[in-house]
Amino acid sequence: MQFGKVADPAQIDFTLPKDAPETASVLKAHQDEAPFEVYVGCAKWNKTDLKGFYPKGTKDELTYYATQFNSIELNATFYGMPDWKQVETWKDKTPEGFKFFPKLTNTISHFKRLIDVKEPVEQFCNAIAAFDDRLGMAFLQLHDNFKPKDFDRLKKVLEEFPQGIPLGVEVRNEEWFTNKEVSKAYGDLLEKLGMANIIVDTAGRRDMLHMRLTSPVAFVRYVGANHPTDVDRLDDWMVRIKKWRKEGLQKLYFFVHQNIELESPLLATHFIEQVNKAFKLSLKIPAKQAAQKSMFD
């Protein structure tokens, strides 16, 4: 993942900002004794990107990946409209309890730019509905140059989005975060619709750490910089997530990327170990491949 990549990560202040004022009130409304649902995974299962993760002789990457993690951020659906047969094929390769988090196709978000997209949105949702109990949450990622001037266009799409499909939304243009009035209107809309406001932690775009939760779900896309600070950053996230859980967080969806994806499984493994320890969970610890060299070895 090249978005937000910088030449020298050591020059970046990776401190997590304070929560948006609305976050505590959103979480407080959901304080109860419900079990904490946590899904942690990578963005890809491609053997080329995750070199060293798969044992020699692995015949099907997704089948093996799903024995190591409980979820995947499914970017394949961004590059081409899925059909229900393909979705069922993916689903059938995974065990009970595994979740897919498919990204809406770029035809909707980037090429048509949310104009006249009712039909492709319904086509996409009908296809991913075939995931059945393997569907975690779909997410809409908008182009970097999609600005708040088109807020009404986004509002219409979100209000018409099929209610049976959980949705998270990621806006990227700086104006969504620097304009306080726009940021509040956008956050309030997601809160009203019960949709997740996706948080992106990447070196070159610290403004996307808005820390504004709009539902009792934290959907975090974490981008490591292939730098020793990656581990410390994950530990800082654990501190914040423990705080949110005390305040009422019900679900955590946390996906680990890197500029060079080689070590993503190891970073995710470290995070899973910390999650299990902090919340007394028993998420599977992925096997570490001896052939893979990293800062963890």
Q: How confident is the model at residue 1 (pLDDT cuts 50, 70, 90)?
A: low
Higher pLDDT, 44 or 278: 278
CB-based contact 274:53 (threshold 8 Å): no
Greater confidence, 11 or 70?
Answer: 70
Which residue reads 């030449």 in tokens? 7
CA atoms within 13 A on the CB side of 239: 10
Collapsing DSSP to helix, strand or coil, 59 comes out as coil
CA distance 66 to 44: 11
pLDDT mean over 89-97: 98
Name, in order, each residue with C-beta under 8 angstroms of 103's C-beta and a sequence gap of 6 or more: 73, 74, 75, 77, 78, 138, 139, 140, 141
Structure tokens at 210: 């808005």
Q: Evaluate if residue 294 carries a pLDDT over 50.
A: no
Give 135's DSSP letter.
B
Cα separation, 136 vs 213, whole angstroms = 18
Q: Please give the Cα distance from 130 to 246 (Å, whole number).
A: 35
Looking at residue 51, its pLDDT comes to: 75
State the pLDDT confidence band at 287, using cuts at 50, 70 and 90. Answer: confident
How confident is the model over 26-39, as a mean pLDDT? 89
Please state, as a whole number, how many other Cβ atoms lie within 10 Å of the Cβ of residue 138: 24
The model's pTM: 0.95
CA distance 116 to 121: 10
The pLDDT tens digits for 127-157 are 999 999 999 999 999 999 999 999 999 999 9
Given pLDDT bands bounded at 50, 70 and 90, which one contains residue 4?
low
In eight-state DSSP terms, residue 55 is P
pLDDT digits (tens, 9 = 90+) for 164-217: 999 999 999 999 999 999 999 999 999 999 999 999 999 999 999 999 999 999
Q: Which residue in the block uniquely carries the two structure tokens 């708040």?
A: 148
Helix (H) or strand (E) holding 252: strand 251-258
